[in-house]
Structure 1
Amino acid sequence: MTDAQLRPVQALLVVDVQSAFVSGGEAVPDAARVLDRTRDLLARARAAGALVVHLQNDGEPGTVDEPGTAGWELHLPVTPGAREHVVRKTEDDGFADTPLDALLDDAGVTELTVCGVLSEMCVAATARAALDRGHRVVLPHDAHATYDIPAAPGISDTVPHAMSSRAAEWALGDEVEIVPHAAAVPFTAPTGAVHQAG
């Protein structure tokens, strides 16, 4: 699908844009691009009155995204309110044991876009779960990223991060709308109830 064919979405899911993954020496290789595209998506979603949900992963003790550590913190500022929420999670799938499903349903969201990290893990799992729930899902190619897959003796050489991200998109099947540029994703306000962020 080309950028020009997009119709508006009612929500933006920002997946795990946490400091451990997008800043410092352990950042994904395309962190600067993902941050730039996410800032743009956030600004336009907020301006349109779309629902914004920041997913924040609670890592296991000793991991870079362990709750309370610097790496766990969301890297981009949140604007809490009726249309912007933070949802903490412990699984790749942002819907698993979280209030995400209820937030989308209460707001009347049926169409959403997903951005963030990591492409083949939490981004893909959350996008797939949204598809499974009947949502229209738009995935901008330039707004998600991951790491290189290390070489595995007897299996493969290193798989470059860009190839891993593209494979993650492809594996979602033909229901997801993969588009080249986040800048082309239009937003609109959902029609359902709004709730103040807790």
Structure 2
Amino acid sequence: MRNRSIPVEALIVVDVQEASVTGDGALPEAARLVDRTADLIARARTGGAVVVHIQNDGPAGAGDAPHTPGWELHHPVRTGPTEAVIRKTHDDSFEGTSLGGLLTGAGVRSLAVCGLMSEMCVQATARTALALGYRVVLPYDAHATHDIPAEPGISEAVPAAVVSRVAAWPLSRDADVTTRAADVTFTAPAAAQG
């Protein structure tokens, strides 16, 4: 892990939806996640970076099923030329969505990924971004997940913090995994500066 200022041109906020950060279904570290993602969003806006809120469309009956209270994004969105909402149905925020086209159109070459779940949607989105040639920053304290319950005869319960750490570990070979969201800085994409 690295502790240094890391400038990026876009922020991808994955699935920070009411079902996972409020009420009975909230992640164990929901308060920290909400605080860190709110700070990242505010600083990305101030820096002129592209901000993309990813909104998962869960299946019928799920906490994040479309148009239910749990499906709503937790952070307010300022839709405009540099901020958008993209809905998805897969773990990977690029799969079947306009995310790649939006980033390419804006001239983005580097991005930070935050949100939830660490081992699912955050990791899948970061992996695809790396495969597409983006410089990826993963602030460790700005993604989270649930505890994994014990499975008798297989394993004890795995705390959410351990799951998040394990999810980030294989990405650290290719991505900048930083310990603090505060180490991420933002700038407008070169195309927007020009």
Coarse TM-score class (shorter-chain normalised): over 0.9
Aligned to 2:77: 78
Using the alignment, how far apart are the partners of 1:122 and 1:192 within structure 2? 28
Whether 1:2 and 2:2 are equivalent positions in the alignment is: yes
Q: Is the 8 A contact 1:13 1:115 kept in 2?
A: yes
- Aligned alpha-carbon RMSD (Å): 1.3
Alignment of 1:129-168 (within 5 A): 129-168=128-167
Q: Is the 8 A contact 1:58 1:90 kept in 2?
A: yes
Q: Is the 8 A contact 1:53 1:85 kept in 2?
A: yes
SS at match of 2:186: coil
Q: Is the 8 A contact 1:131 1:175 kept in 2?
A: yes
Aligned to 1:67: 66
Aligned to 2:36: 37
Aligned to 2:185: 186
Over the matched positions of the two proteins, sequence identity in percent amounts to 59
Using the alignment, how far apart are the partners of 1:171 and 1:20 within structure 2? 28
Q: With structure 2 as the length reference, what TM-score do the two structures score?
A: 0.96
The letter of the residue matching 2:97 is T
Higher helix share: 2
Q: With structure 1 as the length reference, what TM-score do the two structures score?
A: 0.95
SS at match of 2:54: strand
Aligned to 1:119: 118
Q: Is the 8 A contact 1:3 1:185 kept in 2?
A: no
The letter of the residue matching 2:45 is R
Alignment of 1:72-111 (within 5 A): 72-111=71-110
Using the alignment, how far apart are the partners of 1:167 and 1:3 within structure 2? 19
Q: Is the 8 A contact 2:171 2:177 kept in 1?
A: no
Q: Is the 8 A contact 1:106 1:192 kept in 2?
A: no
Using the alignment, how far apart are the partners of 2:127 and 2:190 within structure 1? 24
Aligned to 2:173: 174
Where do 5+ consecutive residues of structure 1 fail to align? 194-198
CA drift at 1:171: 2.5
CA drift at 1:184: 1.3
CA drift at 1:38: 0.6
CA drift at 1:173: 4.5
Q: Is the 8 A contact 2:2 2:176 kept in 1?
A: no
CA drift at 1:121: 0.6
- 1:76-135: CA deviation from partner (whole Å, max 9, x where unpaired): 100111000000000000000000000110111110001101000101110111011011
Using the alignment, how far apart are the partners of 2:29 and 2:170 within structure 1? 21
Moved more, 171-180 or 91-100: 171-180
Moved more, 88-97 or 153-162: 153-162
Q: Is the 8 A contact 2:13 2:37 kept in 1?
A: yes
CA drift at 1:152: 1.1
SS at match of 1:125: helix
SS at match of 1:8: strand
Q: Is the 8 A contact 2:55 2:86 kept in 1?
A: yes
Using the alignment, how far apart are the partners of 1:150 and 1:82 within structure 2? 42
Using the alignment, how far apart are the partners of 1:32 and 1:52 within structure 2? 21
